[in-house]
Amino acid sequence: MSRKLAMAAVLTLAVAASCGTASSEENTMTADVVTIDTGQVRGTVADDHRLFQGIPYAASTAGENRWLPPQPAASWEGVRDATRPGSPCPQVGGEYGGDDSFDEDCLFLNVTTPPESTGDKPVVIWIHGNGSIGSGDVFSADRMAAQGDVIVVTVNYRMGVFGAFAHPELADSGTLGLQDQRAAMQWVQRNAAAFGGDPDNVTLFGVSFGATAISGHLIATESQGLFQRAIMHSGFSVMDAPDGALYEDLGAMDTFGWTVDAEQRAMGEAIAAELGCVGDSDTVLECLRAKTAEELLSYPAIMNIFQSYSHGSAELPQPPADALAAGDFAEVPVLAGSTLDEHRTFVAIRILTGAPIEDDRYDAVLAQAFGDDAAVVAQQYPLADYANANEAFAQVMTDRMWAQAIMRQNELLAAKNPVYFYEFADRNPPAEFPFPPQLEPGAYHNADISYLLRAPEFEAELSPEQLELSDAMIGYWSRFAWTGDPNGDGAVEWPMFGDSGYVQSLAPGEGGIGQVDFRSEHLLDFWESLG
């Protein structure tokens, strides 16, 4: 259990949300009122977009619905207030997270449209990351919707013990968060047209754990046909982690972000017993469902213990990495990439939680991670080339874990699908995470998202060159949603990924957008030589 407990250190973004309410008003159809399959919703109309928040796409997951697949949302009379986001799904806040949330009535989504939502516009479904914290409304979709002329749907889904908990007596457990996301996709199929969207042109868009989930949808049979394109930022089905890579007490992980169903169920059974829930199946389930959300969340690090989805069940019969290698995935265009300095976020977390890497321990942490290969790694990444051991180790793991994983994943996907491979390379972005003084943020994990889902307060921090980069990225991503090809409108050409190892670098300034040799930049030939 200690490996998963240490994942409690992996927190990245602040979360803030408030609850939506329903009201009964006249049934007048105006620009701010839309009729969907469960009733009417009244949103907010601004100069450049419309926003509908807190729309239930499934029923409450409380009571008997806890750990069941998402159930249909109830209809309502009158016009529902959709001017505020719904409650985030249960989660634990903290110093680097938002407030605690205990509300299991949380399966809400938000829809942002251009001001004139007529015709069949592409629909982009945002699946947030951060593992065991977050909600659909954290990022702003206004700019992407208005500038890209697309419909953006952002989704809450169950996380941690509520979304990936597994137990021998729960037939559908281990992947409930994935099933929630699919229910949101099915809601889009039924309701996209009401907002001016095309249900036959849907793009999944996610970062980190959200992108990892999308890699699951690429191989999940029941998700096929519900989306036509996929955008994945810094989340993979093929990444492993060396010993100590993420935290000094977290051992090696064969698959980062996924776990074996039988192991997940055994963990669930053990924790149920610790919570006093033992006996026959009915007794155990009744006992577990009688626990309040607060009681479950009080178990140490329970959200991180069950952060990963499981495979080896009807939902995902084989490991996602094996499915990709076998070619068992959806044939859809893919836009996927990573940031230049991915692992700086995770080294920053080590520092902030009291475990910095001192210079005199650099060789020791390499030995922990690479064993007999530590000496050759140190030769490739000499400490003298970096400001300190924290920066050096961040570069080592960026290349070994993140760059190697995205290259391998995109190579497998490109065997069947058009793939557009990017690297976000702005090393001076506004930092949305409290980096310590020992480590410059660089192009850190998640740094690219606010360039696409751009809130006004973030925009105010951008230089003119960074604003141009943001506009260019929104253009690429939106054209990909429209056609499956990011090129056009006079943008710098973005070649489809091939065998060269070159990818589209995205950086501000003159010449900042263009092809770079990703394989050489991240020493991938060296890492592959180590096996």
Catalytic residues: 208
Q: What is the phi/psi pair of residue 179, to 5°? A: -65, -35
Secondary structure (DSSP) of 23-87: --------TTEEEETTEEEE-EE-SS-EEEEEEESS---SGGGTTSPPPPPPP-SSEEE-SSPPP
Q: Closest by alpha carbon to 211, among 181, 188, 186? A: 181
CB-based contacts of 518-525 (< 8 A; 24+ apart in sequence): 518/403, 518/407, 518/421, 518/423, 519/407, 521/403, 522/398, 522/399, 522/403, 522/404, 522/407, 523/380, 523/399, 524/399, 524/403, 524/404, 524/407
> Contact, 23 vs 78, CB < 8 A?
yes
Q: Closest by alpha carbon to 269, among 285, 258, 250, 293? A: 285
Rounded-to-integer distance, Cα 407 and Cα 165, Å: 31
Query: What is the CA angle 102-108-111, rounded to 5?
Result: 145
> For 323-361, what is the HEC assignment?
HHHCCCCCCCCEEEEEECCCCHHHHHHHHHCCCCCCHHH
Token duo for residue 489: 């409108």
| Whole-number Cα distances in Å, 58 to 29, 62, 105, 155, 496 | 24, 12, 9, 11, 38
| Whole-number Cα distances in Å, 66 to 136, 290, 304, 425 | 20, 10, 18, 42
> Contact, 239 vs 401, CB < 8 A?
yes
Rounded-to-integer distance, Cα 210 and Cα 233, Å: 8
| Whole-number Cα distances in Å, 1 to 7, 11, 30 | 10, 19, 54
- The end-to-end CA distance of the chain, in Å, is 28
> Contact, 77 vs 107, CB < 8 A?
no
Place of tokens 């290969």: 373
For the beta sheet containing 79-81, the strands, ordered from the edge strand earlier in sequence to the opposite edge, are 33-36, 39-42, 79-81
| Whole-number Cα distances in Å, 282 to 67, 165, 278, 351, 520 | 14, 17, 10, 46, 57
Rounded-to-integer distance, Cα 138 and Cα 132, Å: 14
